A and B are shown apart, each in its own frame.
Chain A
Amino acid sequence: MRGKLRYAGLLALLLLGITGLSVGLYELLRGAKLDLPSAFIRVAMWVLFAFLVLLILRYVGLLWFSYLNHLERDDEDPLHMPPVTILVPAYNEGACIQGSIRSLLELDYPRYEILVIDDGSKDDTYVKAAVYEGDHGRATVRVITKPNGGKARALNTGISQATSDFILCMDGDSALHPATLRRAIRHFEDPHIGAVAGSVKVVNRTNLLSCLQALEYIEGLNMVRAAQGFFRLVNIIPGPIGIFRKSALQKVGGYDHDTFAEDCDLTLKLLMEGWQIQYEPGSIAYTEAPEKLLDLLKQRYRWTRGILQAISKHKRTLVDPRRGVGVTFTLWYMIFEGIMWPSMNCFANVLFVYVATKYGTALPLILWWGQLTVLDLAAALYCVVVEEERLSLVPYAIFYRAFFALTIDVAKLFATAEELLKLRMDWGKLDRIGRI
């Protein structure tokens, strides 16, 4: 409880800091008395600053609800620990698969099954996984192989072969924290919970890009999931770690293979069916993040188009709240995060650079950049403390806002345009380094 109260003090301090610095930045702009002759630019700037206020509300809301979810956390052991089947789909994961299986054998859970589904790999994934096949005390390892058909089909094969009522789906290139199952399974004592989203952390923090992603996963993804978890409305159960009630998976027909973000698509299908989805920060998957910029863009390109495809499948719910107001709101939130924010960020930067070069004042750019950096720093500090991560990650928030976010937003914008134009795409599988 003391820890939680300490977080309350930290949160209050951060909210005060956000307010104070935001007011300061706006005063700076007001005092500058910008003289802009173009009506278009004046209107655009007002729209962008109104959007900035929306972003402040977004950050404050996320911080607040993620804190409320944190208060609700119960660290007690679950009353029941039913058997769980862990599905490990693997395609050309020869570099990582043994590390993944080894981490799974160390899970702190009384009885579970590890089911590796080799998706027709061209490398030695099957041979390397088969080494571990058999009984390992608390865990049993099974390895099956099938012709290549994509991750969704591999997972569906696993779901049909799973012997337990609860299923953990992960990536072949990920490793799990020992407490993962113990922490997640207690949420299923509530019969309305259909799935639990875990926390994904970057394991290869070897260069600036991967450290920025490490921060992004904690601040940008886990904080959002924690806040959504308060409403039991997590909108994306991450591919590296999702725990499901098998009956819920069967009810929605498992994974579809008509989008490039099958994890997001499945999550939306569960929400549409009325299942609730919780977030569990103690269920942790360690994953490799791209270490090169072009690989990162490849990944984000697929995420962006995949999420848009998943939203498109359920677009009727955008205007029809019969599935629940919360579900409709979640879809709109996804559009906000996926399309509106990246578009506005790109537009703002281009406009403010134009204003700076044409009219000789960079104050609007400073305000935009400064405000977002303040918000990112506050969110990063809170998330790093609550998730007991390294404080040295926090200063990366400055680089995150200065370079990383804009680069990703430009890629998202192009990917969105390509999706709207329905340009052909294929799976962008990343080459794994094998750091797990």
Chain B
Amino acid sequence: MDVVPYLSAVILISTIATIFLAVLSYAAFKIRDKRKPKAKGAAAAPVYFHRYKPAAQAADAPEDAAATPSEDGA
């Protein structure tokens, strides 16, 4: 019995399903992330992450400008 056609069908279907589910899951993750309740004053608070500046540029910036307190950290 030639198993290749069956194997092909199983792998093909599972791959297509996985690709769709992976994209949908990622979209669901992003939607859930956007919907999560924000802490009070979060809008006014600075963003936690600031891009790294090389030492030469950072020397001009305030010492603690690299980051500000996040809502959840550890």
Can you identify 30 A-B contacts, CB atoms within 8 angstroms? A117-B74, A148-B72, A149-B69, A149-B73, A150-B69, A150-B74, A152-B73, A258-B66, A259-B52, A294-B32, A297-B29, A298-B33, A309-B52, A352-B15, A353-B16, A353-B19, A361-B8, A362-B11, A363-B8, A365-B8, A402-B14, A403-B18, A406-B22, A407-B18, A411-B22, A426-B47, A426-B49, A426-B70, A427-B48, A427-B70
Interface size bracket, B side: 20 to 34
A263 CA / B66 CA spacing, docked (Å): 17
Query: What's the minimum C-beta distance from B22 to chain A, rounded to whole angstroms?
Result: 4
**Residue from B15, B25, B74 with most neighbouring chain A CB atoms (10 Å):** B74
Instruction: Give the residues from 1 to 52 in chain B that come closer than 8 angstroms, CB to CB, to chain A.
Output: 4, 7-9, 11-12, 14-16, 18-19, 21-23, 25-26, 28-29, 32-33, 47-52
Establish whether residues A312 and B52, one from each chain, have CB atoms under 8 Å apart when the complex forms: yes
Query: What's the minimum C-beta distance from A132 to chain B, rounded to whole angstroms?
Result: 18
Which listed segment binds B: A14-22, A87-95, A185-193?
A87-95
A147 CA / B15 CA spacing, docked (Å): 47
Does chain B have a CB within 8 A of A410?
Answer: yes
- The 0/1 profile, CB within 8 Å of B marked 1, for residues 65-107 of chain A is 0000000000000000000000001111100000000000000
Which of chain B's residues have a CB closer than 8 A to the CB of A93? 74
Of the candidates B22, B32, B69, B74, the one whose C-beta lies within 8 Å of that of A410 is: B22
Given contacts A349-B19, A402-B18, contact A294 B29 (CB under 8 A): yes
Which of chain B's residues have a CB closer than 8 A to the CB of A312? 52
Query: What's the minimum C-beta distance from A240 to chain B, rounded to whole angstroms?
Result: 12
Query: What's the minimum C-beta distance from A383 to chain B, rounded to whole angstroms?
Result: 24
A259 CA / B23 CA spacing, docked (Å): 26
A410 CA / B28 CA spacing, docked (Å): 13
- The 0/1 profile, CB within 8 Å of B marked 1, for residues 345-376 of chain A is 01001101100110001110110010000000
Establish whether residues A407 and B51, one from each chain, have CB atoms under 8 Å apart when the complex forms: no
Query: What's the minimum C-beta distance from A151 to chain B, rounded to whole angstroms?
Result: 4
A91 CA / B69 CA spacing, docked (Å): 13
Of the candidates B29, B32, B69, the one whose C-beta lies within 8 Å of that of A148 is: B69
Besides A150-B67, A363-B8, A402-B11, 20 more A-B contacts (Cβ < 8 Å) are: A92-B72, A93-B74, A119-B74, A150-B70, A150-B73, A152-B67, A258-B66, A294-B28, A309-B49, A309-B52, A349-B18, A350-B19, A353-B19, A362-B12, A369-B11, A402-B15, A402-B18, A406-B15, A407-B21, A427-B72
Establish whether residues B12 and A356, one from each chain, have CB atoms under 8 Å apart when the complex forms: yes
Does chain A have a CB within 8 A of B60?
Answer: no
Given contacts A256-B66, A293-B25, A407-B25, contact A422 B15 (CB under 8 A): no
A152 CA / B68 CA spacing, docked (Å): 12
Establish whether residues B29 and A301, one from each chain, have CB atoms under 8 Å apart when the complex forms: yes
A147 CA / B74 CA spacing, docked (Å): 12
A124 CA / B51 CA spacing, docked (Å): 33
Does chain A have a CB within 8 A of B63?
Answer: no
Beta-carbon nearest neighbor of B30 in chain A: A414
Query: What's the minimum C-beta distance from B38 to chain A, rounded to whole angstroms?
Result: 10
A298 CA / B36 CA spacing, docked (Å): 13
Which of chain A's residues have a CB closer than 8 A to the CB of B11? 362, 365-366, 369, 402
Does chain B have a CB within 8 A of A429?
Answer: yes
A350 CA / B49 CA spacing, docked (Å): 34
Given contacts A151-B74, A425-B49, contact A258 B26 (CB under 8 A): no
Beta-carbon nearest neighbor of B20 in chain A: A410
Does chain B have a CB within 8 A of A153?
Answer: yes
Establish whether residues B73 and A366, one from each chain, have CB atoms under 8 Å apart when the complex forms: no
Which of chain A's residues have a CB closer than 8 A to the CB of B23? 410
Establish whether residues A258 and B49, one from each chain, have CB atoms under 8 Å apart when the complex forms: yes
Of the candidates B12, B21, B22, B67, the one whose C-beta lies within 8 Å of that of A365 is: B12
Of the candidates A89, A92, A411, the one whose C-beta lies within 8 Å of that of B26 is: A411
Which of chain B's residues have a CB closer than 8 A to the CB of A363? 4, 8
